Amino acid sequence: MMINKKSILFSILISIFLLILNGCATITGPSVSEEEIIKATEELKVKALAFQIKQLQRLHNIANRLSFAITKEDTHTYKGPQPFLGMVCFNIDSQLKKLYKIENNKGVVVIIVKENSPAYKVGIMPGDVLISINDRKIPDTYTFNRLASNFKIGDLLKIKILRNNTHLDFDLKLDEIPINVPLAVVDIQEVNAATDGKSIFVTYGLLNFAKSDDEIAAVIAHELAHLVRGHVSKMQGSQLIGAIAAIVLGIVVESSSPGSGEIVMKGAGQISEIFTAQYSRDLEREADYFGTKFVYQAGYDPEVYANFLERFAIEIPQSMISNYLSTHPTSPERILRVKKAIEELKSSSQVLN
């Protein structure tokens, strides 16, 4: 029998090719439908929203505690006590409906209730749908903020809430707070914070970097010092204009009011421009001094302020904080000044006691 060598060679080559092909085959496991991916994506968005709200609640509680520690003598921009309600609201959207199991398609949902605020004391909770205040219906946050802008210290409010399909009525009296500063969390990973003179902006990068409430308090206190000492008005005009433009063009926020005292960020845009505003090094030194004082007066650990500056200098790469270092005194100087400020505060406290 004649054997065709070409046929044998061709068969061998085909066999080798099939072996290689089978050896390189990717095993992906069970298939996933497009519908399942969409559902999982929506579930992750809701979980991310819950995480962000938790971070925001933590931030507001810290800032609130610091605000009550500020005295009239500490500030150049003191306008007198301001009305204090202590809750933050969002317009209802699809994700908030899922998070709080809300059936309403429109309206306002409470997402933040500050500790020890009038809203907190009467039992208003995150997830409550705000129906009306003093019989005035609240269809959106614009209406809420416009109404709250006329609040006065001591005003009595009748608040109607929808919770788990049950209508609840709350009566409360507006309290007062020395400084009612709007806050916003910026969804970028740069470790930074800033103020435009009216509000304070904190990045998620900073919240993730901070290891404790004391560290976050140190950062917020520094920005509060910039704000209440009137540093923004001393900035160069072009820098201030650029900062405000970044807010107007780069962020979608709810309007602020004395009653709610908040700005809630919905998006980031080109927010990074707000962090390029520069103060003189002397203003930064003053912000460190009064920031340390606010931390101490609020009952946070002032030693953490100095330790945080040291950890910040060691752990954050130069490329991530180039803007920060270009406008602040050197880290060794800041650490030493803060430590001396702590000694001064403790000595003064001992004399008073």
Cβ contact 257:145 at 8 Å: yes
DSSP 74: G
Which tokens in the block code for residue 234?
């001393």
Q: How confident is the model at residue 259, as a pLDDT?
A: 36
Alpha-carbon distances, residue 231 vs 48, 105, 226, 261, 335 (angstroms): 35, 43, 5, 21, 21
By mean pLDDT, which of 32-36, 95-99, 137-141, 325-329 is the weakest? 325-329
Which tokens in the block code for residue 187?
């969804």
Query: Quick one: average pLDDT of 21-36?
Result: 76
Q: Give ranges for CATH 2.30.42.10 in the chain.
A: 39-177
* Whether the predicted pLDDT of 265 surpasses 80: no
Segment 52-81, tens digit of pLDDT: 888 889 999 999 999 999 988 888 776 778
Which tokens in the block code for residue 103?
């059936």
**Domain 39-177: CATH class, spelled out:** mainly beta
Q: How confident is the model at residue 1, as a pLDDT?
A: 46
Q: How confident is the model at residue 274, as a pLDDT?
A: 57
Query: Quick one: average pLDDT of 17-29?
Result: 65
Query: Quick one: average pLDDT of 137-147?
Result: 90
Number of H helices, E strands in the chain: 12, 11
pTM over 0.75: yes
